[in-house]
Amino acid sequence: MNYRTNDRDQLLSASLDGELSPGDEARLAALVDQDAASRRDLQTLAYTRQLLAETPRVPVPRAFTLNESMAGVRSPQPAGWLAWLQPMHLRLAAAMVAVLLLVFVVGDVSTQWRLVGDGPSSALVAPSGGLAPDQGDPTGILAAKTATTESGVQSQTTFLSLPPATLLALEIGLAVLLLLLLAASWRLVRL
């Protein structure tokens, strides 16, 4: 056998790891059979490898887990369907709710104001409490007036013909929704 030392050592070393091809295994068998030095080298390499395997592991002195500061991030991103949620989306929704709330409040207040301003003398008689034909209110928003019925009972109508309790509940609901959206948006920005 005419192996260079490096080639021979590689063959011996790889044999310890079972990384030899069938051809190399045959060459190794012939080598250790004919060469006493190679036989001894294989033995001492195996011994060295065994010593390394018996070397105890070094206990970990502490946990290497990361905190947010070390990781350079603020917090995990939401997963699943929430992943699309961005502060901009919440702000947009908050703006829309705010506009809606404004419309309701302004409409409600202006309706009340008109009723006060017009007074009972200008009240029109509306058979069903709807818009009088000569009011010129194309939007239909101000459909309500205090109307005096034949029986003398004064029925109060409000913005969009909604009952006062419903209107109030809507306004409160919109205000709460607006606050929640603003809070969520602020929270996302803080993350």
Q: Is residue 188 close enough to count as binding another protein by CB under 8 A?
A: no
71 versus 169: smaller Cβ distance to another protein: 71
Interface residue with another protein, options 22, 72, 119, 152 (CB under 8 A): 72
**Phi/psi at 120 (nearest 5 deg)?**
-65, -25
49 versus 172: smaller Cβ distance to another protein: 49
Give the contacts of 129 (CB within 8 A, at least 6 positions apart).
144, 147, 155, 157
10 versus 148: smaller Cβ distance to another protein: 10
Q: Is residue 13 close enough to count as binding another protein by CB under 8 A?
A: yes
Q: Is residue 153 close enough to count as binding another protein by CB under 8 A?
A: no
Q: Are 158 and 164 in contact (CB under 8 A)?
A: yes
Interface residue with another protein, options 9, 24, 35, 171 (CB under 8 A): 9
Q: How far is CA 161 from CA 4, 107, 127, 175, in A?
A: 102, 11, 15, 21
Q: Are 159 and 108 in contact (CB under 8 A)?
A: yes
Interface residue with another protein, options 26, 49, 88, 122 (CB under 8 A): 49
Binding region for another protein (CB under 8 A) out of 16-24, 93-101, 140-148, 173-181 = 16-24
- Looking at this protein, which amino acid is placed at residue 98? A
Give the contacts of 105 (CB within 8 A, at least 6 positions apart).
171
Q: How far is the CB of 38 from another protein (least distance, A)?
A: 12
Q: Is residue 70 close enough to count as binding another protein by CB under 8 A?
A: yes
Q: Is residue 45 close enough to count as binding another protein by CB under 8 A?
A: yes
- Looking at this protein, which amino acid is placed at residue 157? T
Q: Is residue 1 close enough to count as binding another protein by CB under 8 A?
A: no
Binding region for another protein (CB under 8 A) out of 25-33, 68-76, 143-151, 152-160 = 68-76
Q: How many whole angstroms separate alpha carbon 132 and alpha carbon 145? A: 9
Crossing angle of helices 22-34 and 5-16, rounded to 10°: 110
List interacting residues with another protein (CB under 8 A): 6, 9-10, 12-14, 16-17, 19, 40-41, 44-45, 47-49, 51-68, 70-73, 75-77, 79, 83
